[in-house]
């Protein structure tokens, strides 16, 4: 029996095989969509770049060389150099680490938080719902960037505070989705059945409702990643995010702004990086939506 047969077996012999088999089916379905494959490759390249940044980058991201200021792209400096003579390619490569950290931490903080708050509000309803959702609505009614700005201004500039600020501003959208999904799920008969078996509310929410919300959440988080990167870049651009000399892409654009007419590459190169990575997350998210949509479940 080949691995493939084992994965696609009609009658799996263990819970592990059943779950791995399902994941494999999702994966193969994803592979059939060229755009999502492209998105996946972009994200993979981003991951590898971040991981092997010291090996890939030819120069130090912070090492200044004032005799090499503002050189155009060439065989030595692929993306040119900036106003302090630093190699832009090396900075973009190192910057991927910062971008990835921001993305990962924001996802890890805001998605579970939103998921839990939304599921609790939806499951219990009544005044719990009113309070939690009122709170959520206050956050939702303020523009994201402005709110993040306010938080960073209060917490002090810096990359960590930027992450916290973005996470705080992005959970309400997830809470809304999780609540909407929970409302449709909570009256389902399979939920009644576990309630009848004696399961308490925590067990019902965590083990039975959340697993059904996660797929739409994964899709939404992936699609939002582009926005997160842009917000982080925006904060960096204003000077409230990553502080110099950290090679954060938004901050790099900000500094390149001064020379944008004469030395276009200083601002453009990190801009490309932002666009490509954002697109990658969007493509992957779209592909995931098609394969994870619960409505397409069962038509296998």
Partner 1 sequence: MSALSLKNLDVSYGETKVVHGVNLEVAEGESFALVGESGSGKSTILRAIAGLAPEWTGEISVLGKPRSHGVDRSVSRTVQMVFQDPYGSLHPRKTIDAALSEPLAIHGIGNRGERVEAVLAQVGLDQRFRFRFPHQLSGGQRQRVAIARALMLEPKVLLLDEPTSALDVSVQAEILNLLKRLRREQNLTFLMVTHNLPVVSFLCERLAVMRHGRIVEIADVAQLKQGELNEPYSRELLAATAGA
Binding site for partner 1 (CB under 8 A): 10-15, 17-19, 22, 188-190, 192-199, 203, 207-208, 211-212, 294, 297-298, 300
What is the CB neighbour count within 10 angstroms for residue 100?
18
Q: Are 292 and 221 in contact (CB under 8 A)?
A: no
Nearer to partner 1, 3 or 67 (CB): 3
Nearer to partner 1, 27 or 190 (CB): 190
Nearer to partner 1, 63 or 201 (CB): 201
Q: Are 59 and 93 in contact (CB under 8 A)?
A: no
We find the least distance from the C-beta atom of residue 131 to partner 1, in angstroms, to be: 21
We find the least distance from the C-beta atom of residue 117 to partner 1, in angstroms, to be: 22
Largest CA distance in the chain: 76
Q: Are 110 and 174 in contact (CB under 8 A)?
A: yes
Contacts of 221 by beta carbon, 8 Å cutoff, 6+ apart: 107, 111, 174
We find the least distance from the C-beta atom of residue 219 to partner 1, in angstroms, to be: 15
We find the least distance from the C-beta atom of residue 16 to partner 1, in angstroms, to be: 9
Nearer to partner 1, 207 or 258 (CB): 207
Nearer to partner 1, 65 or 214 (CB): 214
Q: Are 38 and 285 in contact (CB under 8 A)?
A: no
Instruction: For residue 228, give Cα distances in angstroms to 76, 99, 225, 280.
Output: 33, 9, 5, 13
We find the least distance from the C-beta atom of residue 14 to partner 1, in angstroms, to be: 6
Contacts of 270 by beta carbon, 8 Å cutoff, 6+ apart: 88, 91, 92, 95, 249, 250, 252, 253, 256
Cα separation of the two ends of the chain: 22
Two tokens, residue 142: 């303020």
Nearer to partner 1, 12 or 73 (CB): 12
We find the least distance from the C-beta atom of residue 192 to partner 1, in angstroms, to be: 6
Nearer to partner 1, 204 or 269 (CB): 204
We find the least distance from the C-beta atom of residue 180 to partner 1, in angstroms, to be: 17
């Amino acid at each position: 029996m080949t691995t493939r047969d084992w994965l696609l077996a009609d009658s799996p012999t263990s819970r592990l095989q059943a779950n791995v088999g399902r994941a494999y089916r999702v994966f193969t379905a994803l592979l059939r969509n060229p755009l999502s494959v492209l998105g996946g490759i972009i994200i993979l390249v981003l991951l590898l770049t971040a991981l092997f940044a010291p090996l890939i980058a030819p120069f130090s991201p912070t090492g200044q060389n004032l005799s090499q200021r503002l050189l155009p792209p060439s065989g030595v400096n692929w993306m040119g150099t900036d106003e302090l003579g630093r190699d832009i390619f090396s900075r973009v490569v190192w910057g991927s680490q910062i971008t990835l950290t921001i993305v990962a931490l924001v996802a890890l903080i805001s998605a579970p938080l939103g998921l839990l708050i939304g599921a609790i509000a939806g499951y219990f309803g009544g005044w719990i719902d009113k309070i939690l959702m009122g709170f959520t609505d206050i956050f939702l009614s303020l523009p994201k960037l402005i709110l993040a700005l306010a938080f960073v201004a209060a917490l002090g500039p810096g990359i960590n505070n930027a992450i916290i600020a973005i996470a705080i501003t992005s959970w309400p959208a997830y809470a809304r989705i999780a609540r909407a999904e929970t409302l449709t799920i909570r009256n389902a008969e399979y939920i009644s059945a576990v309630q009848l078996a004696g399961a308490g509310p925590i067990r019902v929410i965590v083990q039975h409702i959340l697993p059904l919300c996660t797929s739409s959440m994964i899709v939404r988080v992936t699609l939002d990643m582009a926005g997160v990167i842009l917000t982080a870049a925006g904060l960096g651009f204003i000077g409230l995010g990553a502080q110099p000399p950290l090679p954060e892409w938004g901050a790099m654009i900000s500094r390149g702004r001064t020379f944008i007419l004469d030395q276009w590459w200083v601002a453009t190169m990190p801009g490309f990086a932002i666009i490509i990575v954002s697109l990658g997350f969007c493509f992957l998210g779209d592909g995931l939506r098609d394969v994870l949509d619960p409505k397409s479940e069962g038509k296998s």
